Amino acid sequence: MIIVGHRGIAGRFPENTKASILAAIELGLEWVEVDIQPTKDGELVVCHDHKIDRCSNGKGRVDSFTLDQLREFDFGGWFSPEFKSESIVTLGELLSLAKAHHLKLNLEVKIDQHNVQQVCGLVKDCLLKHNANRDDIVLSSFSPDIIRELHSILPEYDLGVLSDRLTSKVKQLLDEVSAISCNLNYLRTNKKHIELLQADGYQVWCYTVNNPNRLKYLPGLDAIFSDYPERFL
């Protein structure tokens, strides 16, 4: 089973920061999951929420700031004083860091009011610019429109369909885009779901599992996302 560091190692480091990614590398993880979304000036940055309020000393939407403006905020001090001055990470910086350390990435593309084609175009441009190895990347999203567009413009990259639970629509989307995995909320997933998906050739990745005892109810999982990956090693 693959242990994926959730937003780096979000349980012990400020999520989605360089410090959190480096900690995952030091722990020896093969995979890390992060969230990406666009800035006002069309740069892709690593950030989960559409607002920076929770995980920085700033306030406002990510896409209301340019990259230079976002770099002025502290994305680590909210978690602990020792991480004060952590800067926001761009997708390009992350790809370079990952390549240097042989780290594989699950990139979750975040969207709410954004233009689907524009955001997916930015993802494509960045992956191609940095010559990202398709074997080291899984692209995922909760947005069916994002998944379909990524399948259209980046057919060589693996896709993971994100959903709170397995539904008939999710299953149809998996088939439509030939996804590699179905990424589900472990609280709404059971043995039957896992067996059904795997029988149809899909991997099952579950989020966010922080208690190893939970795994006895989910036999045969292909991967889990965890804020505390060290608990599973």
Tens of pLDDT, residue by residue over 18-68, are: 999 999 999 999 999 999 999 999 999 999 999 999 999 999 999 999 999
Tens of pLDDT, residue by residue over 149-163, are: 999 999 999 999 999
Handedness of CA 87, 90, 95, 96 (dihedral sign): negative
Tens of pLDDT, residue by residue over 74-94, are: 999 999 999 999 999 999 999
Provide the pLDDT confidence category of residue 200 given band limits of 50, 70 and 90.
Answer: very high
Long-range pairs, 192-195, Cβ under 8 A, ≥24: 193/166, 194/218, 194/219, 194/220, 194/221, 195/220
- Its domain, for residue 217, covers 2-231
The token pair at 92 is 């390009």
pTM score, two decimals? 0.97
Q: Is 126:95 a contact under the CB 8 Å cutoff?
A: yes
Number of domains observed in the structure of the chain: 1
The CATH number that applies at residue 69 is: 3.20.20.190
Tens of pLDDT, residue by residue over 115-146, are: 999 999 999 999 999 999 999 999 999 999 99
